[in-house]
A and B are shown apart, each in its own frame.
Chain A
Amino acid sequence: NAGVTQTPKFRVLKTGQSMTLLCAQDMNHEYMYWYRQDPGMGLRLIHYSVGEGTTAKGEVPDGYNVSRLKKQNFLLGLESAAPSQTSVYFCASTGTGNTGELFFGEGSRLTVL
């Protein structure tokens, strides 16, 4: 029962470094999302995908890129990390029959120094 798996769980970066967060789901879901969560703020949508090979911008896309080359994987990239990107990142997925219920990964805590 893997569900949604995120790697890595923790990462510390220096300003300007790049990295990629990987999200994998084994539920054959069409839709996948990347959210960030910051203290005192609600989860905010970064990018999302409605199917393999498609991506779209969410509420706070600047500084991030994504790719969905395979249906089960959704990658979030930071090309040049900034301290403002220090956050907890959650990947989520859902299918067409789930009335929108999101299944979340355990989160990836990123610190940018």
Chain B
Amino acid sequence: GQNIDQPTEMTATEGAIVQINCTYQTSGFNGLFWYQQHAGEAPTFLSYNVLDGLEEKGRFSSFLSRSKGYSYLLLKELQMKDSASYLCAVTRGGDSWGKLQFGAGTQVVVTP
């Protein structure tokens, strides 16, 4: 089975940095995704990590440590539009690419 944990909510100020941690315990791990979901909308893809290390994509970065079962999503220069839920999800890959196991999501609230 798989167990994925992430904080329920985080609050930060516009322009600041926030780091969302995700820990997982899983068998057959092949990669970790981060998705963003605004209220009432569909999740949208942010990043995918399969190797250890940091992947940077503009204001967003994602880090993975396979040996520690740990990932984080770093949001820099926060903007009001970044207020959303951030979902951590793991995959076993192969024919199971889309069979994601999701965490409950972290609600990020950006304040002026």
Interface residues of A (CB under 8 A from B): 31, 33, 40-45, 48, 50, 58, 90, 92-94, 98-107
Could you tell me the distance in whole angstroms from the C-beta of B9 to the nearest C-beta in chain A? 11
Contacts of B98 in A (CB 8 A): 31, 33, 48, 92-94, 100, 102
Q: Which residue of A lies closest to B97 (CB)?
A: A100
| Interchain CB contact (< 8 A) of A45 among B35, B45, B100, B104 | B100
B interface size (C-beta, 8 A): 25
Contacts of B104 in A (CB 8 A): 40-42
Which B residues from 4 to 36 make CB contacts under 8 A with A? 4, 31, 33, 35
Q: Are A105 and B31 in contact (CB under 8 A)?
A: no
0/1 per residue, B58-83, Cβ < 8 Å to A? 00000000000000000000000000
Q: Are B99 and A90 in contact (CB under 8 A)?
A: no
6 smallest beta-carbon distances between A and B, as pairs? A42-B102, A100-B97, A104-B42, A43-B102, A101-B45, A94-B98
